[in-house]
Amino acid sequence: MLLGVFVSVLALTTYAGGSEGNDIAYSAFMDKARAGQVESIEYTNGSAKISGKLKDGGKFTTTGFPEFPQDDLRVLREKDVEVKPKTTSPGFLEAWLPLLLPVFLILGFFVFMQRRASGQMGNIMSIGRSRAKTYNTERPGTTFADVAGYEGVKQEITEVVDFLKYPEKFGQIGARIPKGILLVGPPGTGKTLIARAVAGEAGVPFLSVSGSDFMEMFVGVGASRVRDLFQSARKLGRAIIFIDEIDSIGRKRGAGLGGGHDEREQTLNQMLNEMDGFEATEGIVMMAATNRPDILDPALLRPGRFDRQVVVPPPELSERLAILGVHCKGKRMNPDVDLNVVARGTPGMSGAELSNLVNEAALSAVRNGRPEISMADFEYARDRVLMGQRRESLAMSDAEKELTAYHEAGHAVCAVVLPNADPLHKVTILAHGMALGVTQQLPAEDRHSYNKDYLEDSIVVAMGGRVAEQLVFGVLSTGANNDLVVSTERARKMVREWGMSDRIGPMAWGSQGQVFLGEDLMHTRDYSDETARVIDEEVEQLLRHCERRCQAALTENRNGLNLVARQLLERETIDGAEVRRLVELARTGAVPAEAPESTSVD
């Protein structure tokens, strides 16, 4: 920058003040002089620039020789031309700039380095400052209108917003607003989105910070940032402090291998002290979000700190429909898209997963060159999310493909004939993810509790593939690995945790906790070896009972099993309605179903 300024000044001093007039050749100038038309000239030594004035009032300029020729000078004297010699001298900048420029560059470099060093020192000195972002009414961003569903959650949060807007309404009746609200729910359910909506609705400053922002390599930084955060909130008067992922600093103290993290515990202690120092008239409310409430320190959850826990569960059917409507705004949708069907087919999905589902459907439409998102795109997106990406390059032999068809047909037939199983949606022998085939069931409605009959039928459906392979081919393959893992885990929970065994009785032993929480480092099993043996026997008996039920169901519907397997070999994918039709058709005996000729698979 300095170099540019100096060059500009030099150019101005060099070229400024130039003479005016027409530029002519030197020979034309001498011709005019011989003709007596020139009145006077001004000759600059060194540059040989000549500027002159004609007798008719005109002006001109030309360039001569470094030394004026004597013959031409004699002609000018004979014609009475006034000659004014001029000697130029370099200006101050022109003379001193080559010497001063390196000095200025060196000085500028030292000034830059000094400012940079002072800035780094300032950063070190301000490392204890809070990194919270402050939002005010001029930056509303998200509001409750952008949060679909969760009416109960929004009602509880609205009470906090109303308290901060109209504290006198609560003070008149003597009500005390909770000092802290903890949003609890699985990942992706919209806890942070709800907090952003509070920032837009509150009409008061909203300080947002992540739990990880308190931790640094320097000792005492976390506690210092907590103090600065609360001091900033007090200066604002009424405000909301939101800490996202509070479990990163709010874990139980004294837990874990080798003792607790001293710096983290000091940060938590400072936060507990700051929350205790609140007065009801201060108008400061704490909000926090976590998906691990079980690992938070009990002192953080007691009344007077986080008084209220607001559960943000996965959305229900109506809420999923509303969330899909929000994410479909601004997208071109084909008239055949029925969001009710999409919502019913996505049980248990969080808001983030539904957003990803809509985006995958849009990508599918673009990939296939369609101008609008169709129902087929939503089907593809749901299969990709639930079952994984289809493996186009996988090539199976005919024998392996036939074995896979009967394996998936066994799952599908069990899902159709059992009274308590979830409705069958589709079955395919196209490889998705790590699976060679997939049988997909979709519940007719959201379930919140499961009875014993439903759980047993789900185990029977899971064993359908393995039993079908053994019934038709007389072999056992590794394809039932995941089915056995799911069945065994579910049976063990039924016996050990849910009290669904008559022999064990109404007793429950939960699964062991994680060692890093410090709860099971020296934990011993809370039941005897004899009880453990009984539990294992009951789990085995339950699995054997479900296996016998599965063998009976597939033996009774052997013709339907063959029909479904043949259709899978021909069409690769069939829906649940077609499977039910084939099973009913086989039961009536209208179409004979042939079993495969081979009885073994290489």
Q: Are residues 569 and 457 located together in one domain of the fold? A: yes
Spell out the alpha helix ranges (H) of 473-528: 481-496
Of 430 and 482, which is predicted with more confidence? 482
How many Cα atoms within 13 Å fall on the side-chain side of residue 77?
Answer: 7
| pLDDT at position 593 | 46
Q: Are residues 199 and 234 located together in one domain of the fold? A: yes
Q: Is the dihedral of CA 412, 389, 191, 204 positive or negative?
A: negative
Q: Are residues 402 and 549 located together in one domain of the fold? A: yes
> Parallel, antiparallel, or unpaired: how do β-strands 133-135 and 38-45 relate?
unpaired
Of 600 and 255, which is predicted with more confidence? 255
Q: Are residues 301 and 332 located together in one domain of the fold? A: no
Report the phi/psi class of residue 359: left, alpha or beta, with left for phi > 0 and alpha for psi in -120 to 50.
Answer: alpha
Q: Is the pLDDT of residue 547 over 90?
A: yes
Q: For residue 127, is it within any domain?
A: no
| Closest to 238 (Cα-Cα) out of 204, 263, 215, 208 | 204
Least confident range from 107-116, 298-307, 464-473, 532-541: namely: 107-116
CATH code of the domain in which 429 resides: 1.20.58.760
| pLDDT at position 118 | 54
Phi, psi of 390 (to 5 degrees): -70, 135
CATH code of the domain in which 35 resides: 3.30.720.210
Q: Is the pLDDT of residue 138 over 60?
A: no
Q: Is the pLDDT of residue 587 over 50?
A: yes
Percent pLDDT > 70 in the chain is 79
- Residues 280, 176 contacting (CB under 8 angstroms): yes
Could you give the C-alpha distances from 512 to 509, 525, 600, in angstroms and in order? 9, 9, 42
- Residues 357, 381 contacting (CB under 8 angstroms): yes
Domain-terminating residue out of 255, 287, 311:
311
Domain-terminating residue out of 269, 294, 311:
311
Q: Report the distance separating Cα 391 and Cα 492, nearest Å.
A: 33
125-151 residues labelled b (16+ CB within 10 A) or e (exposed): eeebebebeebeeeebebebeebbbbe
Q: For residue 258, is it within any domain?
A: yes
Confidence class for position 19, pLDDT limits 50, 70, 90: very low
Q: Report the distance separating Cα 75 and Cα 36, nearest Å.
A: 10
Three-class secondary structure of residue 320 per DSSP? helix
Q: Is the pLDDT of residue 417 over 80?
A: yes
Question: Which DSSP symbol is given to 247?
Answer: G
Report, as residue numbers or ranges, the catalytic residues: 408
Confidence class for position 72, pLDDT limits 50, 70, 90: confident
Q: Report the distance separating Cα 265 and Cα 267, nearest Å.
A: 5
| Closest to 356 (Cα-Cα) out of 334, 335, 386 | 386
Domain count within the chain: 4
Confidence class for position 229, pLDDT limits 50, 70, 90: confident
Q: For residue 393, is it within any domain?
A: no
Confidence class for position 279, pLDDT limits 50, 70, 90: low
| pLDDT at position 552 | 92
| Closest to 319 (Cα-Cα) out of 360, 294, 347, 338 | 347
Q: Report the distance separating Cα 25 and Cα 186, nearest Å.
A: 90
- Residues 252, 295 contacting (CB under 8 angstroms): yes
Q: Are residues 303 and 185 located together in one domain of the fold? A: yes
| pLDDT at position 513 | 45
Q: Report the distance separating Cα 412 and Cα 561, nearest Å.
A: 9
Q: Report the distance separating Cα 592 and Cα 112, nearest Å.
A: 91
Question: At CB < 8 A and 24+ separation, what contacts does 590-597 make?
Answer: 591/563, 592/559, 593/558, 593/559, 593/560, 593/561, 593/562, 593/563, 593/566, 594/562, 594/566, 595/472, 595/558, 595/562, 596/402, 596/406, 596/472, 596/473, 596/562
Q: Are residues 186 and 276 located together in one domain of the fold? A: yes
Q: Are residues 209 and 161 located together in one domain of the fold? A: yes
Question: 76 lies in which domain range?
Answer: 2-88
pTM of this structure: 0.63
| pLDDT at position 120 | 46
Q: For residue 93, is it within any domain?
A: no
Least confident range from 238-252, 391-405, 586-600: namely: 586-600
Of 529 and 596, which is predicted with more confidence? 529
Q: For residue 368, is it within any domain?
A: yes
Rg (CA), the chain: 43
Burial class of residue 575 (count of CB atoms within 10 Å of its CB; 0-12, 13-18, 19+)? middle
Domain-terminating residue out of 356, 387, 418:
387
